[in-house]
Amino acid sequence: MKTFFSAFFAVVLFFLLCPFNGNAQKNGDKKASQINFIENSWGEALKQAAAKKKYIFVDAYATWCGPCKMLKATTFKNKDVIAFYNSNFINVAMDMEKGQGLELAAQWGLRAYPTLIIFDAKGKPVYGTVGFIKPDDLIKFGVQGLNK
């Protein structure tokens, strides 16, 4: 009987502790699970790009945009994409229908979403594309932008 209670206690303890360990691990890995985006701050992106001498990758999106949501749920969570963009760019995600996004959409002449744009460290656009893009193609896009 003592062995039964010991085994039962061990199983209960195992199930009680597993969710805590799993959640702690997920929260600790949060930064590595997606591209690190500055949210809705073009000024901050320019400041960081100048300081770090890096190009800027912009995800220009709208909240209602299906392909934008797909991009965030799939391509931006690809481990190779994450590693490439987090090490080579200052990344900024801009909602183009609110705040500074409205002004930038007009200034950049945006007509469809998602629009992905690479800017040099001074804020000059060097390369862009419109629409959903798969992980391998997004990395090729980034390489091409860095070479402009």
CA 69 to chain centre: 11
The answer to whether residues 60 and 109 belong to one domain is yes
Q: Is 92 within 8 Å of 36 (Cβ atoms)? A: no
CATH number of the domain at 59, please: 3.40.30.10
Q: What is the pLDDT along the chain (148 residues), one digit of tens a residue?
A: 544 434 444 433 333 333 433 333 333 444 568 899 999 999 999 999 999 999 999 999 999 999 999 999 999 999 999 999 999 999 999 999 999 999 999 999 999 999 999 999 999 999 999 999 999 999 999 999 999 8
Q: Can you give the residue range of the structural domain that contains 20? A: 1-31
Mapped onto helix, strand or coil, the DSSP state of residue 147 is coil
The answer to whether residues 73 and 12 belong to one domain is no
Residue with tokens 């100048």: 50
The answer to whether residues 14 and 42 belong to one domain is no
The answer to whether residues 17 and 60 belong to one domain is no
- The alpha helices in 1-148, defined as continuous H runs, are 2-28, 42-52, 66-73, 79-88, 100-108, 135-146
Residue 46 CA to residue 118 CA, distance in Å, equals 12
The answer to whether residues 82 and 16 belong to one domain is no
The answer to whether residues 47 and 102 belong to one domain is yes
The answer to whether residues 19 and 66 belong to one domain is no
Number of domains, the chain: 2
